[in-house]
Structure 1
């Protein structure tokens, strides 16, 4: 199973790389400013004079960083007035950009805002599948359907540039997620083990993605789900019988003679009704398997505070076999972002000991804000650039 974050990145990059010349112009302007500490200082000083309502730092997109183009455009468009004023502060700015794609103008900034609006939900989806503090495999199918809907909406928005982007993104989407045969069965099972979704949401989503074969897919998933349940039942019940036989070797206290006498003195009334109720209860339980009882219950309400793993922990006594299945399926990773970013920061590979130390110092229960770390790394880059300039001047 390929990394979901990488696939989303490939889909977005396919649409952005030829999206508009406006993106290239903004990229050229950002590259020029960030190429020199003195330019960056002058730019920030102008931003203070213009009283820009943001403290975000300019960042340049790179092919290997997820969401980099969105983050670059999202920050740059907030400094539109600063870029316009900077033309008068640095004449080389106009000459340098004119040799390439040109200086961004009002229409370019408007185009950038439109492109940023399209990329924003993809940015959110990338963050969603890159989480490391909670289970995310159950969201994979929802992400696939969301990407499908986003691209479909862009294809019919009426904006020719956005429609062109959507067409290229759709081609890449079909390559990875457009064929039902390449969809891993575990993706469907993870939806079923999400107590807020189960079969009903899966059927709705499959019908959206593959309407002509949706019924066949649901039947296949249902069949494989019960096969898997039978396999788990054999293993878990086999282990249970071994534990029972082990415990049976220990002596148990036999009822005393006085207890037997008390049982014999109890009135033997209502025996038929008691036997009938026990048989009815036993037949009702035997008619439905544990899996069918789980699927037959109402779905949980969806809320931000809902903890899926906690729900399974609390309800595992009621569904011991299904809970074991859910634990194994939901533990499947869908993204390599967390593991890769742990040993790669701004393109530099760090020593493992330093990475571990950094992780201990920053240990927190709060979700990680990727943009916060990108800005911090950019500050470090700027400081290093200034220091290197000072050293070069001293050596000269």
Structure 2
């Protein structure tokens, strides 16, 4: 049994989702150290190659957000200027350090990765999305990218299992659909994907008429 499961296990990790790896890097408690630990534990010979691949993907995605951030919308005469935010009298100091940070040639991604990771024990219940929202002024376009990546809904259900109905049995234990709804769905599926035509004398038109009415009612809901 173990011998038959090992190829499937290896295939699972060879075809890992890159966006999940990027999401782990965007967790300030994990970053690349966590990926290095996982990749090394699975296969130390390919760990460096996988880490470099994720770095390139992350940099490429960040460059897209950085490029879009530079595109400014022209202000029309009828538009109102954006409200100026105050930092309790520290506006000048913030502008000063922001200018210095921007002049050292380091991007927001570089600064984020260079910062030490947060203690995972002290911040066990950290809301990562709240972290990026609170640090949006520091990381700018990187914070926007992180919020988009971390808000992607993740599912572990295989696509074949989600859309295939070949092996499913509709009964009162496995489905809560009413029989009338099941007939309407199956009839609509046959109309969309086609079905074998039957002779007119073998078809009872009254059930088809009822099903058609059910489909119309379902479409109007």
Give the TM-score of the pair, scaled to structure 2.
0.56
Q: Does 1:212 align with 2:32?
A: no
Distance change >3 Å, CA 250–CA 327, structure 1 → 2: closer
- Ranges in structure 1 where 5+ consecutive residues have no aligned partner: 1-164, 253-277, 353-396
Task: Indicate the residue corresponding to 1:313 in structure 2.
Answer: 133
Q: Describe the superposition over 1:75-101 as per-residue Cα deviations: whole angstroms up to 9, x where unpaired.
A: xxxxxxxxxxxxxxxxxxxxxxxxxxx
User: Cα distance, 1:318 vs. partner?
Assistant: 2.0
Task: Indicate the residue corresponding to 1:293 in structure 2.
Answer: 111
Q: Describe the superposition over 1:118-144 as per-residue Cα deviations: whole angstroms up to 9, x where unpaired.
A: xxxxxxxxxxxxxxxxxxxxxxxxxxx
Distance change >3 Å, CA 308–CA 217, structure 1 → 2: same
Distance change >3 Å, CA 350–CA 172, structure 1 → 2: same
Distance change >3 Å, CA 349–CA 204, structure 1 → 2: same
Task: Indicate the residue corresponding to 1:201 in structure 2.
Answer: 34
In structure 1, distance between residues paired with 2:67 and 2:102: 18
Task: Indicate the residue corresponding to 2:68 in structure 1.
Answer: 235
- CA root-mean-square deviation: 3.1
Q: Describe the superposition over 1:302-329 as per-residue Cα deviations: whole angstroms up to 9, x where unpaired.
A: 2442222221222223223112222222
Q: Does 1:184 align with 2:17?
A: yes
Matches within 5 A, 1:266-345: 282-286=99-103, 287-302=105-120, 303-330=123-150, 331-336=152-157
Q: How many residues align?
A: 150
Matches within 5 A, 1:16-55: none
Task: Indicate the residue corresponding to 1:170 in structure 2.
Answer: 6
Flag the structure with larger Rg. Answer: 1
Task: Indicate the residue corresponding to 1:348 in structure 2.
Answer: 174
Matches within 5 A, 1:106-117: none
Distance change >3 Å, CA 214–CA 345, structure 1 → 2: farther
Q: Describe the superposition over 1:253-293 as per-residue Cα deviations: whole angstroms up to 9, x where unpaired.
A: xxxxxxxxxxxxxxxxxxxxxxxxx6x97354332101111
